[in-house]
């Protein structure tokens, strides 16, 4: 009788929840206070609550706009507010978060009573334009270390991405997956609603050095610089030896386009253009967390002119061009971007 080809899942991973994984990380840090661990667990708790609301959105009258616009001039969705308030409430409760900078808040919220020296930056619900049509959306977060001996203020958030202690995102897609990096490696955890836990499902994610997918909103072509136009023409050209033409994929949710690019390789680009001369995506809570994850996974993150993580922000909601993906593909983009005159 033929042996069955299927073999049971690796039982040793059964217990690998996000919580145990974070705790094990803490035990490896001499003198760890547990504050950082607690903060990571609070963020994952908030995302568990948000995934519950997102999954039932159509049944709970939480779809659609609030009629408000946020500091970015964008119409705010009801779920944006629910996700933002959920994240704030969870982070405030335990007193291990000194403050939060969020896409949905004009100013940072400070918790002077808190301890630990950590700040959180967050895009509570990314991909707002896709919420009502049930296309993948997400939450993006970063944890910053405050500069020692500096007073807690909004300026405390204006540090380069090199000061992030951890970053990641959660994708609310066909399954809910939390991707996390503390700078050394990147790991993915899939949400099991039955057990109410995130379980390790993608250990040590490495972004392939090269891919064959490019992701950009081609609706902006007329607004692009000549260098960006030439880059898109290049990836579309037939060249078997060079694995071109690339396929085009664009969801319109940064988390979804980045997650695919991280796992499969290739490149996601939201370059500066005539409509968004500084780029569209926000440095603190969109570009930096993604750049932190991609660099930790062996990928690359650039504005086209330099590394995203080296930028020292001057404003809380500062925008930047964001190009992330496989090292080879992002370097190719930079070759074309370099052809554009400064300030193009
Ligand atoms: P928010 O939805 O959090 O405001 O994020 C902005 C965003 O939706 C990104 O997720 C996405 O990559 C980009 O804007 C899509 O922009 P566009 O519709 O111009 O292509």
Q: What is the pLDDT of residues 188-231, one digit of tens each?
A: 999 999 999 999 999 999 999 999 999 999 999 999 999 999 99
CA of 70 to the centre of ligand 1 (A): 14
User: What confidence score (pLDDT) does residue 16 get?
Assistant: 87
Q: Which of 25-29, 122-126, 219-223 has the lowest mean pLDDT?
A: 25-29
Per-residue model confidence as pLDDT tens digits over 162-188: 999 999 999 999 999 999 999 989 999
Percentage of the chain modeled with pLDDT above 90: 77
User: What confidence score (pLDDT) does residue 140 get?
Assistant: 98
* Ligand 1 in reach of 273 Cβ (< 6 A): no
Q: How far apart are CA 72 and CA 126, in angstroms?
A: 14
Tokens 């990928």 sit at which residue? 299
Q: Which residues contact 340 (CB under 8 A, 6 or more apart)?
A: 225, 226, 227, 228, 304
Confidence bin at 3 (pLDDT 50/70/90): low
Q: Which residues contact 157 (CB under 8 A, 6 or more apart)?
A: 99, 101, 108, 119, 121, 144, 284, 313, 316
Mean residue pLDDT across the chain? 92
* Ligand 1 in reach of 217 Cβ (< 6 A): yes
- Residue 139, pLDDT > 60, answer yes
Confidence bin at 9 (pLDDT 50/70/90): low
- Residue 120, pLDDT > 70, answer yes
Per-residue model confidence as pLDDT tens digits over 295-332: 999 999 999 999 999 999 999 999 999 999 999 999 99
- Residue 242, pLDDT > 70, answer yes
Q: How far apart are CA 110 and CA 99, in angstroms?
A: 4
User: What confidence score (pLDDT) does residue 298 get?
Assistant: 98
Q: How far apart are CA 88 and CA 84, in angstroms?
A: 6
Confidence bin at 148 (pLDDT 50/70/90): confident
- Residue 44, pLDDT > 80, answer yes
CA of 138 to the centre of ligand 1 (A): 11
- For the whole model, what pTM was predicted? 0.94
The secondary structure of 268-288, three-state, reads: EEECCCCCCCCCCEEHHHHHH
- Residue 1, pLDDT > 60, answer no
Mean pLDDT on 46-67: 89
Mean pLDDT on 108-130: 93
Mean pLDDT on 223-248: 97
**Ligand 1: which atom is nearest the Cα of residue 103?**
3
**Longest pairwise C-alpha distance within the chain:** 73
Is the CB of residue 143 less than 8 Å from the CB of residue 37?
no
* Ligand 1 in reach of 127 Cβ (< 6 A): yes
Q: Which residue's CA is the nearest one to ligand 1's atom 3?
A: 126
**Ligand 1 pocket check: which of 126, 172, 271 to mutate, most ligand atoms within 8 Å of Cβ?**
126
**Ligand 1: which atom is nearest the Cα of residue 137?**
10
- Residue 13, pLDDT > 60, answer no
User: What confidence score (pLDDT) does residue 285 get?
Assistant: 98
Per-residue model confidence as pLDDT tens digits over 249-276: 999 999 999 999 999 999 999 999 999 9
Q: How far apart are CA 246 and CA 242, in angstroms?
A: 10
Confidence bin at 62 (pLDDT 50/70/90): confident
- Residue 10, pLDDT > 60, answer no
């Amino acid at each position: 009788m033929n042996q069955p080809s299927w073999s049971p899942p690796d039982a040793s991973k059964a217990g690998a929840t996000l919580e145990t994984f974070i705790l094990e990380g803490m035990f490896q840090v001499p003198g760890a206070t547990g504050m950082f661990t607690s903060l990571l667990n609070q963020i994952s708790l908030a995302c568990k609550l948000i995934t519950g609301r997102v999954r039932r959105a159509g049944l709970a009258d939480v779809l659609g706009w609030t009629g408000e616009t946020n500091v970015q001039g964008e119409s705010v969705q009801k779920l944006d507010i629910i996700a933002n308030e959920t994240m704030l409430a969870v982070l405030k409760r335990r007193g291990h978060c000194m403050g939060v900078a969020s896409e949905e808040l004009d100013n940072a919220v400070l918790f002077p009573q808190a301890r630990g020296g950590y700040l959180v930056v967050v895009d509570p619900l990314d991909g707002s334009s896709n919420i009502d049509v049930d296309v993948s959306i997400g939450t993006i977060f970063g944890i910053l270390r405050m500069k020692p001996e500096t007073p807690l203020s909004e300026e405390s958030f204006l540090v380069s991405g090199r000061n992030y202690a951890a970053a990641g995102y959660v994708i609310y897609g066909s399954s809910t997956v939390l991707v996390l990096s503390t700078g050394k490696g990147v790991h993915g955890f899939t949400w099991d609603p039955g057990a109410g836990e995130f379980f390790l499902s993608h250990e040590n994610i490495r972004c392939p050095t090269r891919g064959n997918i490019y992701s950009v909103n081609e609706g902006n072509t007329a607004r692009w610089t000549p260098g960006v136009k030439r880059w898109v023409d290049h990836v579309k050209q037939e060249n078997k030896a060079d694995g071109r033409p690339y396929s085009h994929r664009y969801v319109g949710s940064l988390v979804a386009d980045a997650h695919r690019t991280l796992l499969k390789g290739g490149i996601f680009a939201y370059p500066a253009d005539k409509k968004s001369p500084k780029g569209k995506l926000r440095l603190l809570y969109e570009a930096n967390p993604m750049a932190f994850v991609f660099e930790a996974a062996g990928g690359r993150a650039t504005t086209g002119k330099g590394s995203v993580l080296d930028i020292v922000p001057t404003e809380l909601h500062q925008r930047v061009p964001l190009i992330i993906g496989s090292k080879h593909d992002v370097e190719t983009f930079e070759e074309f971007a370099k052809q554009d005159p400064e300030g193009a």
